[in-house]
Amino acid sequence: MSLELAANMGAAPKAEIPSDSPLAIRGMTVSYGQKPVVFSVDMTVAEGSMTAIIGPNGAGKSTLLKAALGIVQPLAGQALVYGKSLKAARHRIAYVPQRASVDWDFPTRVIDVVLMGLYRELGLLRRIRPHHIEKARACLERVGMTDFADRQIGQLSGGQQQRVFLARALAQEADLYLLDEPFAGVDAATEKAIIDVLKSLRSEGKTVVAVHHDLTTVRSYFDRVFLINTRKMAEGTVDDAFTSDNLNQTYGGRLATGQIDQLELTAG
Amino acid sequence: MSGEEFVPLSLTPMLIGVLAAVACALPGNFLVLRKQALIGDAISHVVLPGIVVAFLITGVVAAAPMMLGAAGAALVSVVMIEAIRRLGNIEPGAAMGLTFTTLFAAGVLLLEQSDTSSVHLDVEHALYGNLESLIWLDAIGWKSLLDPVALAGLPSELGRVVIALLGVCAFLWLFWRPLVLSTFDESFAQAMGIATNRLGVALVMVAALAAVAAFDAVGSIIVIAMFICPPAAARLMTNRLEHQVAWSVVFAVLSAVLGYVFAGYGPLWLGFDNAVSAAGMIATVSGLILALAACFAPHRHRSRAPVV
């Protein structure tokens, strides 16, 4: 871990934040009531990488993202986006919340949800022009949902809903993509479609961070991992940090040895 | 009915009823979608002490002080609900119930104790509205609509409703996008930098404005029907928010017009002598429209998202 930090920061002292990192979190502490959910967490996201945030249920994975985005108020700590304050760099972030966090019975169509991604461009009163619709359609095309543009969102399957959420994030034309469990409860075809889009984003030089649950796909989907259980447990490339030692420490023995053996881990 | 009779006696009450119903139904769409419909009820109740206090301070029942009083009361109630919820560790529904019944009771006591005999402000009107009494005595027929002298005699309640409705429309027009965004997906809206909390409070303030308008028309008890019934029925008609809002306006107008007519003439048609309360009938009609929509509207069977 300290090696990782040193590698990211070059010769700079430990506490200094690299100015070019898409997302640098320092000392982030969040509590709900008395119980700290995230405690003094540092995270440095490498530009152009795909990072999986991994940890057991209730480990603070989603909360860490939300605190970085200012959605929940931290007790302490800060997040810098491309070396700037959140306020100054918000437009460079696209966020995909958990699918279950919204009411899909809301009276709106697929295309309208994608157009929400253009809010910063449209502002309060600017008219939606044909080129905005074009852009939204192109985003739907990337996730294979063009045919569903006029459907009410409640009529979609869970996987289709997740793709619509991703299309909305694409419409934001951001540099940093933060996704909260994008693969939760989706079908295999959707999972493939989503990972293809995320990988193509990476090849365009964008940075992707996703809360991820399925340890078996970490190695094939991501190049970096961030292990958390309230505190940061490990951070680094999959080869360096996705080790059985780190996983055991993070999950506190909640993973069966057999499970760990199947993950093709680097020897701890 | 001839213009000589209709214009002075029925035109203004009907118009005030319609405008008030629309003013409530518009923000009601968002309250219902945010599952905050009860806030509409809470607001309509706390508006009463606000209006009474405004009257006691200024001594007049005019639009500006009434609205300020109502907005102030709404703000106090929002703060009170939050305070009770956090300090007392009480669930939001109970905190809301506690706040609005207490403030409403305080308003009734205040109203009973103060001398409001000179103005149209007493407990009964506050509770049930006084739509039937909002007549336009200066009018002698349709041509009075073009007569400046007669127009000057229009009931001041009409001006109040118009201001409230304009305020509601301006708010929804200006903040439509962030309102929709934060109602559908609050965390995404926050990640976009939208101040969702402030927007939520603003929506409640606008609902308070609408409640002032409805206060004249249907009183503070029945106004909850105006906030909920037209939008809830409209939701069953369509799967698009823009269309839902349009339908809610149609249903609000229908409720007000039919309610007023049925209240005035329905009992006569049935062989009774006296007309019944317009406010009660308007709320009843809006409930009936909701019932009909629940039985026959096209989008009443919505599929829940299948879990993959």
In Å, how far from its chain's centre is CA B29? 12
Q: How far apart are CA B221 and CA B184, in angstroms?
A: 29
Q: Give yes or no for a contact between B194 and B182, defined as CB atoms under 8 angstroms apart.
A: yes
Residues forming a β-bridge with A95: A178
In this prediction, residue A257 carries a pLDDT of 61
Q: Under CATH, which architecture does the B3-220 domain have? A: Orthogonal Bundle (1.10)
Which value, in Å, is the radius of gyration of the alpha carbons in chain A? 19
From B236's Cα to the closest Cα of chain A, the distance in A is 10
Neighbours of B60 (CB within 10 A): 14
In this prediction, residue B303 carries a pLDDT of 53
From B303's Cα to the closest Cα of chain A, the distance in A is 6
Q: Residue B157: pLDDT above 60?
A: yes
Residue A256 pLDDT level (bands cut at 50, 70, 90): low
Three-state DSSP class for A70? coil
Least reliable range by pLDDT among A70-84, B61-75, B285-299: B61-75
In this prediction, residue A1 carries a pLDDT of 40
Backbone angles phi, psi at B250, to 5 degrees: -60, -45
Across residues B15-23, what is the average pLDDT? 94
- A116 contacts B181? CB cut-off 8 A: yes
Across residues B139-149, what is the average pLDDT? 86
Question: Most B CBs within 10 Å: which of A64, A81, A105, as the mutation test of the B interface?
Answer: A105
* Chain A residues with CB-CB distance to B239 below 8 A: 107-109, 152, 154
**Domain ranges in chain B?**
3-220
Q: Give yes or no for a contact between A160 and A104, defined as CB atoms under 8 angstroms apart.
A: no
- Which chain B residue is nearest to residue A183, measuring alpha carbons? B308
Q: How far apart are CA A60 and CA B209, in angstroms?
A: 41
- Long-range CB pairs of B240-245 (<8 Å, 24+ gap) are B240/A107, B240/A108, B240/A109, B240/A112, B240/A152, B241/A106, B241/A107, B241/A108, B241/B29, B241/B33, B241/B180, B243/A107, B244/A107, B244/B29, B245/B26, B245/B29, B245/B172
Across residues B97-115, what is the average pLDDT? 86
What domains are defined for chain A?
Answer: 2-254 (3.40.50.300)
Here the tokens at position A24 are 């640098």
Residue type, B147: D
Residue B241 pLDDT level (bands cut at 50, 70, 90): very high
Mean pLDDT (chain A) is 89
Residue type, B142: W
Residues forming a β-bridge with A211: A53, A180
Across residues A123-141, what is the average pLDDT? 95
- Which chain B residue is nearest to residue A168, measuring alpha carbons? B188
Q: Residue A10: pLDDT above 60?
A: no
Q: Residue A224: pLDDT above 90?
A: yes
Neighbours of B116 (CB within 10 A): 19
Question: Most A CBs within 10 Å: which of B30, B177, B196, B240, as the mutation test of the A interface?
Answer: B177
Here the tokens at position B98 are 């506690």
From A242's Cα to the closest Cα of chain B, the distance in A is 29
Across residues B4-21, what is the average pLDDT? 88
Size of interface A-B (CB pairs under 8 A): 95
B166-218 pLDDT per residue, tens: 999 999 999 999 999 999 999 999 999 999 989 998 998 898 888 877 877 77
Q: Residue B58: pLDDT above 50?
A: yes
For A81, the enclosing helix (H) or strand (E) is: strand A76-81
Q: In what order do the strands lie in the sheet with A50-54?
A: A93-96, A176-180, A207-211, A50-54, A224-229, A231-237
Is the confidence metric ipTM above 0.90 for this complex? no
Least reliable range by pLDDT among A26-40, A214-228, B66-80: B66-80
Backbone angles phi, psi at B217, to 5 degrees: -85, -55
* Closest CB to B308 among A101, A107, A187: A187
- The fraction of chain A above a pLDDT of 90, given in percent, is 81
Chain A residues with at least one Cβ partner in B under 8 Å? 66, 69-71, 87, 90, 93, 95, 97, 101-109, 112-113, 116, 119-120, 122-125, 152, 154-159, 161, 168, 185-187, 190
Q: How far is CA A223 from CA A87, A238, B270, in A?
A: 28, 5, 79
In this prediction, residue A30 carries a pLDDT of 95
Residue B119 pLDDT level (bands cut at 50, 70, 90): low
In this prediction, residue A264 carries a pLDDT of 61
Across residues A19-46, what is the average pLDDT? 92
**Angle between the N-to-C axes of helices B278-296 and B196-235, in degrees from 0 to 180, rounded to the nearest 10:** 80
Here the tokens at position A158 are 């869970």
Residue A19 pLDDT level (bands cut at 50, 70, 90): low
User: What burial class does residue B62 get, using C-beta atoms within 10 Å of its C-beta: 0-12 exposed, 13-18 middle, 19+ buried?
Assistant: middle
In this prediction, residue B209 carries a pLDDT of 85
Q: How far is CA A252 from CA A125, A256, B81, in A?
A: 52, 11, 41
